[in-house]
Amino acid sequence: MNAPAAEVTEHASRRGGGRLGRKALRGTPMASFPTLVRNIPAYQMVPDEAVELIHQESLSILEEVGCEFRDDEAIALWKAAGADVSETRVRIDRALLMELVSKVPPEFMLNARNPERSVRVGGKNSIFVPMYGAPYVRDLDNVRRYGTLADLQNFHKLAYMAPALHSSSSIICEPMEIAVPKRHLHIIHSALKHSDKPFMGIVTSKDRAEDTMAMAGIVFGEDFVRDNPVLVAITNCNSPLVWDATMLDAMKVYARHNQPLILAPFALCGASTSASAVGAVAQVNAEALAGVAFTQLLRPGSPQIYGQFMVTVDMKTGAPMGGTPEAAQMMYLMGALARKYRLPWRTSGFHVGSKLNDAQAGYEANMLMHAAILAGANYIWHSAGWLEAGLTCGYSKFATDCEQLVGWYKYAGGLPFDDFKEAMAAIREVGPQGHFLGTQHTLEHFQSAFFMPSIMDFNSYEQWKAEGAKDHDTRGREKARNMLADYEEPKLDEGIADGLKDLIALREEKLPDSVS
């Protein structure tokens, strides 16, 4: 699979070629890759029997120990479905559980406000999604500070411009200057205004989830968002084995609108699970399945995402780690389980613990993304910006991650054989001794044959020195700065834009200025 050619900006010049023509062709193209169709086999690290063993253990956990659902309505739904309920503890029989899980479609279409940016999730189809939730940013001057609305807007712009990102996420960083009760309105507004890709919903309260749906309704049409996925929302299980009221509230709002949820225990392996990679997977699998099954009580057949990824805990401090070998190994188990259940699967890709966009970040990111791709993930999240186990979004990291994603997109697309014959012809044309740099085949294929990064540097030492001897992190920041300078806002219907503003004004009038 090759990256699709950039849309060529039209321009009037003499014959349409020359320096200007080439520049337009190679400039900052507003291109967007379609859904990644993985054209490589999924790698299974353990035998089928091991996957089956974990599966059976997860089912036993749900039957014997059960899972907490801390919400009256959820409990009533489980009772009605025939689960064994005592207070908030729900023990789910394996037949009931698997029957509910089997209702989830294996793939779904995620609609963008620009239909060209709509993507498919599930099966062979994968998408890359930028990070979520950072209180801090590492800014364009390499300073770590609280995020602002201006930063969030910048990240939405970058997400829109990055060809290999398929979503704008939502809270890439937190706009800390906006009052908490009103913040969600501005987060969603920014995502919808600055990008035309799919986005993510807010889950921190029922009202905020409803506001998100109302805003989506203005953009996509109220009727449309009742049945068609336009966003994805993340609800975390509080491991071990607790689905709490806040998350259940958000699940009710989104699932009833047929909007996919990521049912995700973001467990810290060793703290919220046993200190065993396989034991941990059996536990979070139970948690995810319980969550998935619950959504099918809310709306049978609604698309959902089996959501886990896991990080291990640094036993020196209790802090979450990132790109460790165990985190990668656990992905292979989760991927195998997701395929067994025929569920779209989310994991994360570049969720490193490093403070800086440095060598540690690079090692960690590579360990994780390689596993995510080979394990067959569909919703590859935290794929741009993430530093410090999610506490910081870095501009440089965002830009360099996006560049790496172009490489991973190509890698996962498999090895094309379509020009094999021509390549064989070229060797006959050149024969012994010559070189290939000037052959017709090379001219025709050099642009797509190899990954051509602009932030990574492969120049001669002298050239690199002459250009300021800048490290990768610095070049990443420069790239982000340049991209932002080139940004052009995607068109949004005026009526829709006004509709969003009106809704925000209306809600802001009602909402308080501080938490209580």
Partner 1 sequence: MTRRHLLQKQVPADRKPLKSASASNMADDEIILSELSDEELVQQMHDDLYDGLKEEIEEGTNILLERGWAPYKVLTEALVEGMRIVGEDFRDGILFVPEVLLSANAMKAGMFILRPLLVATGAPKQGKMVIGTVKGDIHDIGKNLVGMMMEGAGFDVIDLGINNAVEKYLDAIEQHQPDIIGMSALLTTTMPYMKVVIDTMKEKGIRDDYVVLVGGAPLNQEFGKAVGADAYCRDAAVAVETAKDFMKRKHNVRVS
Q: Which of 185, 203, 289 is nearest to 253 (CA)?
A: 203
Subset of 485-514 contacting partner 1 (CB under 8 A) = 514
318 binds ligand B1M (CB under 6 A): yes
Min. distance of Cβ 388 from ligand B1M in angstroms? 6
Q: Which of 280, 277, 284 is nearest to 263 (CA)?
A: 284
| Residue number, 133 or 499, with CB nearest to ligand B1M | 133
CA trace torsion 320, 325, 331, 332 (10° rounding): -170
Min. distance of Cβ 316 from partner 1 in angstroms? 5
Name which of partner 1, ligand B1M, none residue 104 binds, using a CB cut-off of 5 to 8 Å depending on partner kind. Answer: none
170 binds partner 1 (CB under 8 A): no
CA 407 – CA 413 distance, rounded (Å):
10
CB distance 499 to 218 below 8 Å: yes
The identity of residue 81, as a single letter, is A
Min. distance of Cβ 251 from partner 1 in angstroms? 15
430 binds partner 1 (CB under 8 A): no
Subset of 168-207 contacting ligand B1M (CB under 6 A) = 174, 203-204
Among 42, 140, 180, 319, binds ligand B1M (CB under 6 A): 319
Radius of gyration of the chain (CA): 24
Q: Which stretch binds ligand B1M (CB under 6 A): 27-35, 334-342, 383-391, 490-498?
A: 383-391
CA 255 – CA 299 distance, rounded (Å):
6
> CA angle at residue 474 from 470 to 476, to 5 degrees?
120
The residue count for binding partner 1 (CB under 8 A) is 22
Rounded to the nearest 10 degrees, what angle do helices 325-341 and 359-374 cross at? 20
Q: Name the token pair of 187.
A: 């987060």
27 binds partner 1 (CB under 8 A): no
Min. distance of Cβ 358 from partner 1 in angstroms? 20
Name which of partner 1, ligand B1M, none residue 514 binds, using a CB cut-off of 5 to 8 Å depending on partner kind. Answer: partner 1
Residues 432-447: b if buried by 16+ CB within 10 A, e if exposed: eeeeeeebebeeebee
Min. distance of Cβ 386 from ligand B1M in angstroms? 7
Among 68, 71, 151, 174, binds partner 1 (CB under 8 A): 174
Taking CA atoms, 466 is separated from 2, 257, 463, 482, in Å, by 33, 57, 5, 20
Name which of partner 1, ligand B1M, none residue 180 binds, using a CB cut-off of 5 to 8 Å depending on partner kind. Answer: partner 1
516 binds partner 1 (CB under 8 A): yes
CA 107 – CA 121 distance, rounded (Å):
6
Name which of partner 1, ligand B1M, none residue 234 binds, using a CB cut-off of 5 to 8 Å depending on partner kind. Answer: ligand B1M
Residue 238, by phi and psi: left (phi above 0), alpha (psi -120 to 50) or beta?
A: beta
Among 133, 279, 453, 499, binds ligand B1M (CB under 6 A): 133
228 binds ligand B1M (CB under 6 A): no
Min. distance of Cβ 70 from partner 1 in angstroms? 10
Subset of 239-298 contacting ligand B1M (CB under 6 A) = 246-247, 266, 268, 272
| Residue number, 308 or 439, with CB nearest to partner 1 | 308
Contact map string, positions 202 to 221, toward partner 1, x by CB under 8 A:
--x-----------------
The H or E element containing residue 136 is strand 136-138
Strand 125-128 and strand 36-37: pairing?
Answer: antiparallel
Residues 6+ apart with CB under 8 A from 4: 31, 33, 34
Subset of 65-94 contacting ligand B1M (CB under 6 A) = none
Subset of 225-284 contacting partner 1 (CB under 8 A) = 238, 244, 246, 268, 271-272
Subset of 389-428 contacting partner 1 (CB under 8 A) = 391
Q: Which of 286, 292, 243, 284 is nearest to 263 (CA)?
A: 292
Min. distance of Cβ 275 from partner 1 in angstroms? 8
| Residue number, 243 or 487, with CB nearest to ligand B1M | 243
The H or E element containing residue 386 is strand 386-387
Compute CA 365 distance to the chain's CA centroid, rounded to the nearest angstrom: 14
What stretches of 256-299 adopt beta strand conformation (E)?
Answer: 261-264, 267-269
401 binds ligand B1M (CB under 6 A): no
Among 66, 130, 217, 390, binds ligand B1M (CB under 6 A): 390
DSSP secondary structure string, 268-292? EETTTS-S-HHHHHHHHHHHHHHHH
150 binds partner 1 (CB under 8 A): no
Neighbour count for residue 111 (Cβ, 10 Å): 19
Q: Name the token pair of 439.
A: 């052959």
Q: Which of 259, 214, 154, 220 is nearest to 492 (CA)?
A: 220
Min. distance of Cβ 268 from ligand B1M in angstroms? 5
Start-to-end Cα distance in the chain: 53
Among 25, 46, 297, 391, binds ligand B1M (CB under 6 A): 391
Min. distance of Cβ 169 from ligand B1M in angstroms? 10
Under the rule (CB under 8 A), what is the footprint of partner 1? Answer: 135-136, 174, 176, 180, 183, 204, 238, 244, 246, 268, 271-272, 313, 315-318, 391, 514-516
**Residue ranges in contact with ligand B1M by CB under 6 A:** 132-135, 174, 203-204, 234-236, 238, 246-247, 266, 268, 272, 317-320, 389-391
